[in-house]
């Protein structure tokens, strides 16, 4: 084992914090929230939407300074002009959605019964392009990330509200799959997401402190100063999976969409506050 692995292993020698009795998504979510609230009794529920900045006063100060001149502002502006652009057939993105632009972010991810799969905002936007005879974007294309930045900004203050209807076994199966992924060990370092973002939350890993998974999805996409650009939620999944030296999946693969579905459900009731700024 190398130095990093030894350090991480010792960090993770604390007890594993899987939610106890598993009755269904709502019970899971309640246990998830209870866990973080008992670990951080001074942190208000709404604050968990701010990730690591909810629990780390030092980095919070730096972040609040960054937020005075938000580095993601350009992405919002670009996204807005993308949104308003007319396709060759004269239609626009807005024509694909029944809802106004401030009510779209909160609709995704969602399980679409007719398709038998979880549809994310990125998929819905690309479907819209395809339906209008435009080339879909690559899932890491700046245009697509900027569109999600604009729609997140429009939706600020609306609650995350992922639905898992009890009469949709496919939705429950997708949720269970995402949950299994989240708690499964992977990679040469043999870590599950939960090992870092539940069990060891608050601890340091190299220069970073580990943030809570409650609220993980509310603020994406984010501007990462380390990268000097915007990334989407699934690009972050990919980064964390690479960090444990596991093989990453494709962006918008079934695995990542189900994981997003599970994680977004865990954040139900928190306010959308994207786009965000992160180290």
Alpha carbon distances (Å) from 158 to 11, 20, 49, 103, 250: 36, 30, 12, 8, 29
* Rounded Cα–Cα distance for residues 241 and 74 (Å): 29
Residue (95 or 255) nearer to ligand HEC, CB? 255
**183: Cβ contacts below 8 Å, ≥ 6 apart:** 18, 192, 193, 194
**Token output for 183:** 């708690």
Stretch that binds ligand HEC, among 19-27, 88-96, 156-164, 203-211 (CB under 6 A): 203-211
Active site residue 193: no
- C-alpha 163 chain-centroid distance: 16
Residue (44 or 135) nearer to ligand HEC, CB? 44
243 binds ligand HEC (CB under 6 A): yes
Among 93, 237, 261, 265, which residue sits at the site for ligand HEC (rule: CB under 6 A)? 237
Identify the sign of the CA torsion 36, 243, 141, 126. negative
205 binds ligand HEC (CB under 6 A): yes
147 binds ligand HEC (CB under 6 A): no
Among 125, 195, 251, 275, which residue sits at the site for ligand HEC (rule: CB under 6 A)? 195
In angstroms, give the least distance from the CB of 181 to ligand HEC: 7
* Rounded Cα–Cα distance for residues 157 and 155 (Å): 6
Residue that is written with structure tokens 């989240």 in the block: 182
197 binds ligand HEC (CB under 6 A): yes
214 binds ligand HEC (CB under 6 A): no
210 binds ligand HEC (CB under 6 A): yes
Stretch that binds ligand HEC, among 29-37, 138-146, 151-159, 240-248 (CB under 6 A): 240-248
* Rounded Cα–Cα distance for residues 264 and 237 (Å): 13
Residues 30-69 that bind ligand HEC (CB under 6 A): 51-52
**3: Cβ contacts below 8 Å, ≥ 6 apart:** none
* Rounded Cα–Cα distance for residues 110 and 83 (Å): 21
Residue (144 or 241) nearer to ligand HEC, CB? 241
Site for ligand HEC, rule CB under 6 A: 8, 51-52, 191, 193, 195-197, 205, 208, 210-211, 216, 222, 236-237, 240-241, 243-244, 259, 278
Residues annotated as catalytic are 240
């Amino acid at each position: 084992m190398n130095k990093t692995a030894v350090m991480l292993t010792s960090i993770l020698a604390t007890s594993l914090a899987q939610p106890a009795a598993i009755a269904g998504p709502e019970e899971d979510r309640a246990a998830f929230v209870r866990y973080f609230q008992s670990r951080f009794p001074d942190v208000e529920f709404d604050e968990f939407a701010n990730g690591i900045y909810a629990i780390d006063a030092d980095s919070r100060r730096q972040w609040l300074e960054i937020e005075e001149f938000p580095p993601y502002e350009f992405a919002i502006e670009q996204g807005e002009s993308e949104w308003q652009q007319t396709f060759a057939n004269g239609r626009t993105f807005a024509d694909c959605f029944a809802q106004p632009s401030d009510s779209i972010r909160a609709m995704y991810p969602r399980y679409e019964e007719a398709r038998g799969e979880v549809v994310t905002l990125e998929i819905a936007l690309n479907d819209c392009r395809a339906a209008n005879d435009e080339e879909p974007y690559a899932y890491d294309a700046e245009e697509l990330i900027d569109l999600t930045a604009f729609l997140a900004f429009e939706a600020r203050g609306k609650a995350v509200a992922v639905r898992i209807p009890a009469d949709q076994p496919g939705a429950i199966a997708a949720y269970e799959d995402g949950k299994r992924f989240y708690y499964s060990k992977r990679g040469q370092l043999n870590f599950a997401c939960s090992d870092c973002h539940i069990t060891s939350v608050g601890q340091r890993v190299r220069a970073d402190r580990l943030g809570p998974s409650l609220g993980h999805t509310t603020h994406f996409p984010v501007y990462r100063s380390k990268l000097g650009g915007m990334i989407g939620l699934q690009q972050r999944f990919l980064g964390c999976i690479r960090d444990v030296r596991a093989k990453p999946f494709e962006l918008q693969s079934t695995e990542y969409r189900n994981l997003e579905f599970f994680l977004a459900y865990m954040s139900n009731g928190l306010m959308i506050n994207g786009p965000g700024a992160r180290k």
